[in-house]
Each structure stands twice: as structure tokens, then as C-alpha cells.
């Protein structure tokens, strides 16, 4: 691999005697990871599900409680449990930012540069259905992938927008308790995993990203509530993109202070400039990950008392959404997702949505066909095909109350194991597939 000379020169300066070990790390295979979605399953149960099939999940990522190191990505990415939202394929060091933002159920959380959703889905899991998450990405096309990943994860209290940070800042001054800014960067930490990034670096190096990063951070600081916390991260090693931005933010926002990470691991290196020692650097020669920088800030003051409102329904153009506590954050933005998309209104009632199916488990719907992951019907269903069934295979829901009074009851929930993957409708001895075309496995 040919690496940019400017990059190598800076790394020699930063790492000094550690540089040879860093250089040798590029001869090794990049780390691959998977993160268990704790909104649906605990890490222990997650590993047990696969061990039952004779596939032992490798060791855990030492600095992320629900992260695992894997060799065979294709096994997991093609498994029914992946489509059921039990896990997310993610590079190990990229798991660290969301793990170190101390989100608590009930918080208002913003993921400002959220696509494709690896960090947003973890933030949603840590909310555990309480409070709200606004996941934003300025690219509308990338935000569509973000939306799908949040829906697959079973997040019912997430909102997705594709707005510039300055617009959000004008709508949400001092609004969020926790903010994650995983800023666009030169991507030096990804050179080993994606060699093409090195060529891209020659065209757009750190100098091009620094002004953008500072602009984004300044808008994020405006949106942070008193007592709130902001985590800034990049996947680059450049001090100008990392520590210098930290010092810029501290100088221009004296209400912010740099604080230690709550789950700092011994393999993390400190910041390289005076005053940034509480920052963390993840290097591939020190930790099981590619490259990441993290800095956590706290805003002075105390978290304001708020009155939460009960969840409510919101309907627009025939689409029905269940809003989380607090309702719609601001009705003047362009939302791609507003809470849980519950279904689509038709003449006979509301037809349940794919997003709703992803939140359900066997016994949590009127009728469920629960299939073992190795049942050939699971993959047939995921490919959009009609499947056979027998009436004695159906599981009756217990004490089921309609989520929405007009929600139809004729649909059958299809589940991989206990976890919903979509709906179907009876047609004699067959189940007619209701899986959305965009969710089908090709």
C-alpha cells in the first residue's frame, strides 16, 4: 500500500518511537466487528443465539460491551438475525463514540452527522424507548439509508432529517441533552481498511476539512442544553482536525469544558496537545480497531426540568406515525421519519408497516409465524416469496391491545426465531408476502 508522504511525515512526528509499530500495522488484516443491538437482545443472549447454530462468536471488543470481533462478515450480514435487526456490522473503533456518550433513557439526543446509522442505532438502543433521538445527515440520499437502519433496529422514538446544521441550530437552541458530532474528515484512520481513501486524501487533505468541522461544532454547541454533553469524533489522526478543533471549541465556547471519557480503555492514547490529555486516540497498533479520535465536552449548568407528554399519533398523507415522549420536535423541518411509522391508511383501516414489524416479537401480535433461522422459509420470505404454513404453527398474541384503533388485524407477523421481520396475509395454505420491496434480499 502506498501512503501519502504528508501523512507519513505527520505520523512520524506524532508517534515518535511508536511509529515503526504503527507502520507494521498496515501489513496486518483490518479488524472487522459486529455490535449487538441491545434494544432487542443482550450481548450474552446474542452470542448464545449463534452458538446454538454451532457458530461461536469471537472475542469481544474490549472497549465496547456489546461489540464483537469477527472474521466472517458475510455469515452475519446474510443471517436472518441481521435482517431482524439484532446486530449491526461496524468497524470496532467506530463503535467507541456512541459507547462514550453517556446517553440515558429520557434524554433528547442529536446525532448531527448520522448516516449510515451505526452510531445512531446504538444511541437509540441506549435510550431504550424513552426520550427521543434526532438523527440528521445533510445528504438526503445517505439519510434514506440512515432511516432504514433505524427502522430495522426497532427504534420507535427516532426522527430523521436531512438538513444543514445551521438550520437545525436555528430551530433547536439549547435543546439537546446529548449530541454526537462524528464529523466529516480526511479519513486517515481508514487507510488500512479502505486503501482508496489514501488517494482521496491527496485531493482533499486535512486543510479542506478543518473549516467545515469547526462550523459544524459551533452549531452543535448552540444546540446543547445546560448540563448537556457533546462528543466530537473523527476517523483521522490529524492534530489539526482533532486536538486543534478541541482547543478552538473551548476558546470560542467558554461554557464548554473537556471531561474524561466515561469508558476510557487502557489501549486509548491521550490527546497530543497541551490541554487535550482527556481526549482519546485509537491507533491500530495499540487497540483492536482502525483509527478514531474522541473528545467529550460538558456544558455548564443543570439539565432543565421538562414535562413529558404521552406518546401520540401523527398522520400525514395517509401515513400514520407514533410520536415518542415530547411529540414532534419541530414541525417546520423536512422529516424523512417521525417516530415509529406504524402503517398506511387504507379504506378498511391502517395496514401495518415494515417498521412496526421490526419492533415486534413473537406473541406481541395477533398471530405470529415463528420460524427457526435455518428454516428455508425464512430466506424465501426475505426474498419476497410466498411461503407455506400450517394453522398449528401460528402463535396467538396474549392480551394484545391495538397500537392504533384502526390498525388491521388480518396480517400475520413473520418472525426469525422470536424477532419480527415482516408481515404476510393468509391465502389458504399460503402466506402472501407483505415485505416491502426495498427490504427484500436480492
Task: Provide the residue ranges of all domains of the chain, joining segments of one domain with +.
Answer: 1-28+92-346, 31-90, 349-439
Nearest by Cα to 234 from 196, 194, 290, 192? 290
CA distance 203 to 201: 5
Across-strand partners of 396? 367
Q: Is 235 a catalytic residue?
A: yes
The DSSP code sequence of 29-71 is PPP-EEEE-TTT--HHHHHHHHHTTT----PBPTT-TTEEE-S
Where does the pLDDT of residue 254 fall: very low under 50, low under 70, confident under 90, or very high at 90 and above? very high
When pLDDT is averaged across residues 187-205 and rounded to a whole number, the result is 87
Nearest by Cα to 165 from 219, 218, 115, 114? 219
Nearest by Cα to 88 from 142, 132, 39, 131? 39
Q: Please, are residues 423 and 357 in contact by the beta-carbon 8 Å criterion?
A: yes
For 31-90, CATH gives 3.30.70.1170
pLDDT at 5 over 80: yes
| CATH superfamily name and code, 1-28+92-346 | Vaccinia Virus protein VP39 (3.40.50.150)
Residue partners of 131: CB distance under 8 A and separation at least 6: 105, 106, 107, 108, 109, 157, 177, 324, 325, 326
When pLDDT is averaged across residues 384-410 and rounded to a whole number, the result is 88
Q: Which of 87, 235, 279, 288 is catalytic?
A: 235
Of residues 400 and 110, which shows the higher confidence score?
A: 110
Would you state the pLDDT for residue 348? Answer: 86
pLDDT digits (tens, 9 = 90+) for 288-342: 999 999 999 999 999 888 887 888 999 999 999 999 887 788 878 989 999 999 9
pLDDT digits (tens, 9 = 90+) for 30-76: 999 999 999 999 999 999 998 888 888 778 999 999 999 998 899 99
Sheet order of strands, 387-388 included: 387-388, 430-433, 419-427, 411-416, 367-371, 394-396
When pLDDT is averaged across residues 352-373 and rounded to a whole number, the result is 95
Cα-based distances in Å from 104 to 61, 98, 233, 288: 22, 12, 20, 27
The DSSP code sequence of 20-39 is HHHHHHTTSPPP-EEEE-TT
Would you state the pLDDT for residue 201? Answer: 87
Nearest by Cα to 127 from 107, 148, 154, 151? 107
User: Nine-digit cell at 298?
Assistant: 460538558
Helices (H) and strands (E) counted in the chain, each on its own, are 14, 23
pLDDT at 199 over 90: no
pLDDT at 215 over 90: yes
Where does the pLDDT of residue 195 fall: very low under 50, low under 70, confident under 90, or very high at 90 and above? confident
When pLDDT is averaged across residues 211-215 and rounded to a whole number, the result is 98
Nearest by Cα to 194 from 249, 150, 235? 235
Q: Which of 70-79, 172-181, 285-294 has the lowest mean pLDDT?
A: 70-79
Q: Please, are residues 120 and 134 in contact by the beta-carbon 8 Å criterion?
A: no
CA distance 440 to 442: 6
For 349-439, CATH gives 3.10.450.720
Would you state the pLDDT for residue 307? Answer: 81
Q: Which of 26-40, 49-63, 148-162, 275-289 has the lowest mean pLDDT?
A: 49-63
Amino acid at each position: 500500500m502506498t501512503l501519502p508522504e504528508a501523512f507519513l511525515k505527520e505520523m512520524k512526528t506524532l508517534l515518535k518511537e511508536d511509529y515503526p509499530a504503527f507502520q507494521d500495522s498496515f501489513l496486518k488484516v483490518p479488524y472487522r466487528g459486529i455490535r449487538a443491538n441491545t434494544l432487542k437482545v443482550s450481548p450474552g443472549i446474542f452470542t448464545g443465539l449463534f452458538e446454538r447454530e454451532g457458530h461461536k462468536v469471537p472475542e469481544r471488543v474490549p472497549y465496547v460491551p456489546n461489540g464483537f470481533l469477527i472474521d466472517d462478515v458475510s455469515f452475519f450480514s446474510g443471517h436472518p438475525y441481521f435482517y431482524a435487526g439484532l446486530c449491526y456490522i461496524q468497524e470496532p473503533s467506530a463503535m467507541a463514540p456512541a459507547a462514550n456518550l453517556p446517553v440515558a433513557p429520557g434524554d433528547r439526543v442529536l446525532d448531527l452527522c448520522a448516516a449510515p446509522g451505526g452510531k445512531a442505532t446504538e444511541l437509540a438502543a441506549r435510550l431504550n424507548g424513552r426520550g427521543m433521538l434526532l438523527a440528521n445527515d445533510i445528504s438526503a440520499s445517505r439519510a434514506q439509508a440512515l432511516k432504514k437502519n433505524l427502522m430495522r433496529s426497532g427504534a420507535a422514538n427516532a426522527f430523521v432529517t436531512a438538513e444543514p446544521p445551521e438550520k437545525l441550530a436555528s430551530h433547536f437552541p439549547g435543546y439537546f441533552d446529548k449530541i454526537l458530532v462524528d464529523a466529516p474528515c480526511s479519513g486517515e484512520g481508514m487507510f488500512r481498511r479502505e486503501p482508496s481513501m489514501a488517494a482521496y486524501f491527496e485531493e482533499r487533505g486535512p486543510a479542506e476539512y478543518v473549516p467545515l468541522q469547526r462550523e459544524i461544532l459551533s452549531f452543535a454547541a448552540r444546540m446543547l442544553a445546560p448540563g448537556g454533553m457533546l462528543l466530537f469524533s473523527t476517523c483521522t489522526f490529524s492534530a489539526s482536525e482533532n486536538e486543534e478543533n478541541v482547543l478552538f471549541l473551548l476558546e470560542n465556547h467558554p461554557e464548554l469544558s473537556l471531561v474524561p471519557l466515561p469508558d476510557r480503555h487502557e489501549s486509548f492514547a491521550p490527546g497530543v496537545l497541551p490541554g487535550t490529555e482527556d481526549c482519546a486516540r485509537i491507533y491500530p497498533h495499540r487497540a483492536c480497531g482502525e483509527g478514531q479520535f474522541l473528545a467529550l465536552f460538558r456544558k455548564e449548568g443543570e439539565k432543565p426540568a421538562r414535562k413529558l407528554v404521552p406518546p401520540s399519533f401523527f398522520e400525514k398523507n395517509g401515513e400514520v406515525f407514533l410520536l415518542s415522549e415530547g411529540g414532534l420536535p419541530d414541525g417546520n423541518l423536512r422529516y424523512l421519519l417521525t417516530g415509529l411509522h406504524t402503517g398506511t391508511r387504507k379504506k378498511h383501516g391502517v395496514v401495518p408497516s415494515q417498521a412496526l414489524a421490526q419492533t415486534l416479537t413473537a406473541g406481541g401480535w395477533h398471530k405470529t409465524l415463528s420460524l427457526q433461522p435455518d428454516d428455508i422459509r425464512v430466506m424465501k420470505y426475505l426474498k419476497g416469496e410466498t411461503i407455506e404454513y400450517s394453522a398449528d404453527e401460528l402463535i396467538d398474541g396474549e392480551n394484545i391491545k391495538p397500537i392504533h384503533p384502526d390498525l388491521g388485524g388480518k396480517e400475520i407477523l413473520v418472525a426469525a426465531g422470536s424477532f419480527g421481520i415482516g408481515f404476510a396475509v393468509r391465502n389458504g395454505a399460503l402466506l402472501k408476502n407483505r415485505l416491502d420491496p426495498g427490504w427484500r434480499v436480492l
